[in-house]
Amino acid sequence: MIFTYRVTEVQTLKTFLYQQRFSKKTISAIKQNGALLVNQHPRTVRHLLQVGDEVIVQLPDEIPSTSLIPFNQPLHVLYEDTWLLIIAKPAHQNSAPSREHPHESLVEQALAHMQWRKETGIPHIVTRLDRHTMGIVVIAKSRHVHHLMSLTEIEKIYECLCVGRLTASDVIEAPIGRASDSIINRIVTKDGKYAKTLYTPIQTTGDYTWCRVTLLTGRTHQIRVHFQHIGHGIVGDGLYGMLHHRYDTQLLKCAEIKFVHPITDDIVHIKSQTPDFGQILTTL
């Protein structure tokens, strides 16, 4: 992956790279196995740049871990460019490998996709979803772009189908902590970390509500725990909500995402209509 810049003030190449938000770790990797060119000549980070100089940064090729096995299955791609890959993840798939599910993760699927496209980076998860949560996942195609995305504010909107009727927008503000008898379960507890969730009903039936949800904090299982706390657990959520005979996964998805692209400065605004919760609501 190659980046080209034009210098507008006198400064060292090292200072210039920090201004372009290259991390110390990435600069070190470039020095070992990449390229720093000024006006087509190799230079060290101590080189003094002049106004009008052209700087070319070539990132080193990234080698995937031997524990990753490319998973050759088609992706549901919502957006893709040189730097980012945005995917609609189905339920029952890990975003990244785990001890219980070491392979066929979204990362391994993205790795196969990038290798098929002859790209030299490797996928790095920017926005991770639980195994059984559906919807939008953002993947960076290099360590450097992953670092840039970590500095970028990302707006995320979720949708869920919950038990019971909710007729007005509201805020759930309740601290979340780990249950004392489990390493997985979270609960609302006064000893937990501050957590705040906004929700707005989109459509209701006699027994269920389709909601639009915004997280103002990012606690583990936050939406699921908060909706259980107010007595409206997520449909299909066997851990916090209510199992359903027709759906074997929690009806929760990341439905919309918006951010400023860290390379192009364009507004990236992605929506996922899969699955259609409005349609599912009619089947409950």
The answer to whether residue 279 is domain-embedded is no
The answer to whether residue 261 is domain-embedded is no
The answer to whether residue 120 is domain-embedded is yes
Provide φ and ψ at 281, rounded to 5°.
Answer: -55, -35
Both 249 and 160 in a single domain?
yes
Provide φ and ψ at 17, rounded to 5°.
Answer: -65, -40
Question: What does the pLDDT read at residue 33?
Answer: 83
Please identify, among 33, 58, 83, the residue that sits at the C-terminal boundary of a domain. Answer: 58
| Whole-model pTM over 0.85 | yes
The answer to whether residue 278 is domain-embedded is no
The range of the structural domain enclosing residue 164 comes to: 156-253
What CATH number has the domain bearing residue 132? 3.30.2350.10
Both 125 and 105 in a single domain?
yes
Does residue 130 have an active-site annotation? yes
Both 190 and 233 in a single domain?
yes
Instruction: Enumerate residues 6+ apart whose C-beta is below 8 A from 116.
Output: 72
For 14, which DSSP code?
A: H
Closest by CA position to 165, among listed 224, 210, 223 = 210
Under-70 pLDDT residues of the chain: none
| Distance in angstroms (rounded) separating the CA atoms of residues 106 and 87 | 9
Question: What does the pLDDT read at residue 140?
Answer: 97
Please identify, among 58, 77, 94, the residue that sits at the C-terminal boundary of a domain. Answer: 58
Q: Three-state SS for 155?
A: strand
Quick one: angle between helices 24-33 and 143-150, nearest 10?
Answer: 170
* Amino acid at position 24, single letter: K
pLDDT in tens, 9-27: 999 999 999 999 999 999 9
Q: How many domains does the chain have?
A: 3
| Distance in angstroms (rounded) separating the CA atoms of residues 126 and 257 | 12
Both 147 and 168 in a single domain?
no
The answer to whether residue 44 is domain-embedded is yes
Q: From the candidates 81, 130, 181, 191, give the one annotated as an active-site residue.
A: 130
Question: What does the pLDDT read at residue 82?
Answer: 93
Question: What does the pLDDT read at residue 4?
Answer: 94
The answer to whether residue 265 is domain-embedded is no
Both 120 and 131 in a single domain?
yes
Both 210 and 196 in a single domain?
yes
How would you classify the pairing of strands 252-260 and 186-188? Answer: unpaired
